[in-house]
Structure 1
Amino acid sequence: MKTGRCLKQITTAIVIATLSFSCKSSISRNAEQAKATDKPQPQPNLVYGDLIIKEQSDYLMIPVAVSEQNKDKGIDLKISRSYENERSNQLYNIIFYQKQSGEAHLLLNKKAIINSFDLLEVKAAQKPTTRVWLYKIIDKDTNTDTKFNSEDATIGYLSDLSGKNLQQITPDNTRIISWVVVPGQNALFLKIIKDSDNNKKFTAEDKTNFVRVNLDKIGMGTEIISDQIEQEIKSYIFK
């Protein structure tokens, strides 16, 4: 009887010890998993493009990208002559560095993607030469997919050569198709497409228009084709 009672006690002790070890192992594994989950993901490195130097400007320019954009293809931040950026080389900002004083500042004070930037140099008779930077920028998630990408609106901005006095020149929720400078008027004309059906996409069904920007007094451009003109055109064509 005593022997049987001893065996029963030993068996019970073994079961309790086994269950205790199993619980501790489970708690330990859960704690390790929680630590791994809570561990912050490493931030991508900033990548600076080659210096952009223009003799007409007192400022050097340094494009700013991030390494995660190029993790599959390797980093290649060569900028073309027109500064049009490939999709894999998205720019998030530009540093302007004053050659003489050493003062530096950023073009943007918000998150955005700079699709392209071009130096406009307008020479008109009997007028001082106008020099400004034209940017195509994505700065709103217009298709509501929680990220900035090529499906969003692309807005036009102008700044002076120092990267200051940044002004929006095309309406919200539009995309720039093309642009041309008319020196005689000291004006910039941009062809745009609007999300006119408000479906958060830019398609062939959306309306296009032209916007005129006065380079003597930079501000939001004026649309050239009014609703009245468009209705008149339709009345002739679709009779």
Structure 2
Amino acid sequence: MKNYSFLNKITTAIIIATLSFSCKSSVSRNPEQAKATDKPKPQPNLVYGDLIIKDQSDYLMIPITLTEQNEDKGIDLKISRSYERNNQLLYNLIFYRKQDGEAHLLLNKKAIINSFDLLEVKAVNKPNTRVWLYKIIDQDTNTDKKLSSEDAIIGYLSDLSGNNLQQITPNNTRIISWVIVPSQNAIFLKIIKDSDNDKKFTAEDKTNFVRVNLDKPGMGTEIISDQIEQQIKSYIFK
């Protein structure tokens, strides 16, 4: 019995020692595993695109993209009619004054510039109007925690220097097309609104037109009122 008791004690001691060593090894490995897990993901490099030079402006422009590739292959993000970056996303523009080297950014927030176009309006007996028109994605309207072409696309205007940036189309809308009317020195933009609040822009949503005065750019006024739309429906669906 004494030998049996002695063997039990030895066996118990070995088990306790083994468990203790196992716990210490586990504890000693955890910090290394945590370090490997917490290693920050490297940021993509900034890419400065080719210079954009317009004779009408005292400023030249430098596009800002990233080395990362567009993860959403279904997105068709065209970067203006005169400038394309092979589906790379355009995040900002640097405006650089040719004369003295003064430089500043167009945007002071995270956004995607879907397109930009130089508008030049020539009207009789009036000075020419020159502004930049931008289509910008800066609102996560479908709440998927990222900016993409599935979100609203908002219209903005700035002067040729990239200053005085002004939103001209309502939030939670998307620009479909636009046209300039020189005699009125105005731009008319066709928009679609997420009228059913499903966080998508589909054929079920309402469209409208907004007019923006280029002499004093600001939020455009909708042309088709609710009253006119109700009248149209009363004639068509009666």
Same fold (TM over 0.5): yes
Moved more, 61-70 or 149-158: 61-70
List aligned pairs for 1:13-92, cutoff 5 A. Answer: 14-70=14-70, 81-83=81-83, 88-92=87-91
Q: CA RMSD in A?
A: 2.4
Q: Deviations 1:141-195 (Å, cap 9, x if unpaired)? A: 1111111111111100000000000000001111000011111111101000011
Correspondence for 2:118: 119
List aligned pairs for 1:1-239, cutoff 5 A. Answer: 14-70=14-70, 81-83=81-83, 88-239=87-238
Q: Which runs of 5+ in 1 are unaligned?
A: none
Deviation of residue 84 (structure 1)?
5.7
Deviation of residue 8 (structure 1)?
7.1
Name the count of aligned residue pairs.
234
Distance 2:178 2:114 in 1: 14
Deviation of residue 29 (structure 1)?
2.1
Identity between Structure 1 and Structure 2 (%) = 83
Moved more, 62-71 or 99-108: 62-71
Q: Deviations 1:122-141 (Å, cap 9, x if unpaired)? A: 11111111110000001111
For residues 85 and 186 of structure 1, do their structure 2 counterparts lie closer, same or farther at Cα, with a shift above 3 Å needed? farther
Aligned partner of residue 24 in structure 1, secondary structure: helix
Alignment TM-score, normalising by the size of structure 2: 0.89
Deviation of residue 28 (structure 1)?
2.2
Distance 2:71 2:149 in 1: 19
Contact conserved, 2:210 with 2:222, CA < 8 A, in 1? yes
Distance 1:30 1:83 in 2: 51
Aligned partner of residue 68 in structure 2, secondary structure: helix
Stretches of 4+ moved more than 2 A in 1?
1-21, 69-73, 78-86
Distance 2:228 2:106 in 1: 38
Moved more, 181-190 or 23-32: 23-32
Alignment TM-score, normalising by the size of structure 1: 0.88
Distance 2:233 2:72 in 1: 49
Deviation of residue 14 (structure 1)?
4.7
Deviation of residue 97 (structure 1)?
0.7
Aligned partner of residue 216 in structure 2, secondary structure: coil
Aligned partner of residue 189 in structure 2, secondary structure: strand
